[in-house]
Chains A and B, each alone.
Chain A
Amino acid sequence: RKEVEQDPGPFNVPEGATVAFNCTYSNSASQSFFWYRQDCRKEPKLLMSVYSSGNEDGRFTAQLNRASQYISLLIRDSKLSDSATYLCVVNSDAGNMLTFGGGTRLMVKP
């Protein structure tokens, strides 16, 4: 079983749609959680950290459920520019080793 699992997609949605991505992680001792966005042939860029109480940044909302070891990302009012791969990331140790999921590909169509 992979340490961080995501549905690879692709998710094809029209502009303006709401789309949700889910991620599960296997290490219950995981301490920090993030969503990164990666455009084709580019480096991952930090989208947002994920906090236990949930957090929102504009059209993006992240939720964490420690009991179920589950992380989600909700994107409202999708834009064409949201088309990318979204990587669920977990920091499981006291150092700073990030474990990435395989990514979920989103394609927003006009």
Chain B
Amino acid sequence: DAGVTQSPTHLIKTRGQHVTLRCSPISGHKSVSWYQQVLGQGPQFIFQYYEKEERGRGNFPDRFSARQFPNYSSELNVNALLLGDSALYLCASSLIAGEQYFGPGTRLTVT
């Protein structure tokens, strides 16, 4: 079975632009969570979606938004990019609760 997949793997954007990151969960998993990991720190929770509804939101500005599709895949959107948004963006797949399994991440660089 395929694990969690994310695209793209790397992305370079300039300040002020927007970005869309994509994630496909493990087959049978209905929950997707997004995390941001800045170099040298642990991942920080951004969003959780289950059955297309937002179930949790971390302490991130409104520039960050997400959605989940009927096939349980998900998109994370970030508007008006700042230099500080440069990070590894991780998607995690799970059943409604319990152990989460991470995709390889999208490495975003904002210049």
- Which residues in A have some Cβ–Cβ distance to B below 8 Å? 4, 32, 34, 42-46, 49, 87, 91, 93, 95-103
B25 within 8 Å of A by Cβ? no
Which of chain B's residues 1-41 have a Cβ closer than 8 Å to chain A? 31, 33, 35, 40-41
Chain B 70-111, CB-CB to A under 8 Å as 1, else 0, gives: 000000000000000000001010101111111111000000
What total of A-B pairs shows CB separation below 8 Å? 59
Contact between A100 and B43, CB atoms less than 8 A apart: yes
CA distance A32 to B98 in the complex (A): 8
- Which residues in B have some Cβ–Cβ distance to A below 8 Å? 31, 33, 35, 40-45, 48, 50, 55-56, 58, 90, 92, 94, 96-105
CB proximity of B37 to chain A, nearest CB, Å: 8
A42 partner residues in chain B, CB cutoff 8 A: 104
Nearest 4 A-B pairs (CB), nearest first? A100-B42, A43-B102, A95-B56, A97-B56
Contact between A46 and B100, CB atoms less than 8 A apart: yes
B105 partner residues in chain A, CB cutoff 8 A: 43
CB proximity of B107 to chain A, nearest CB, Å: 8
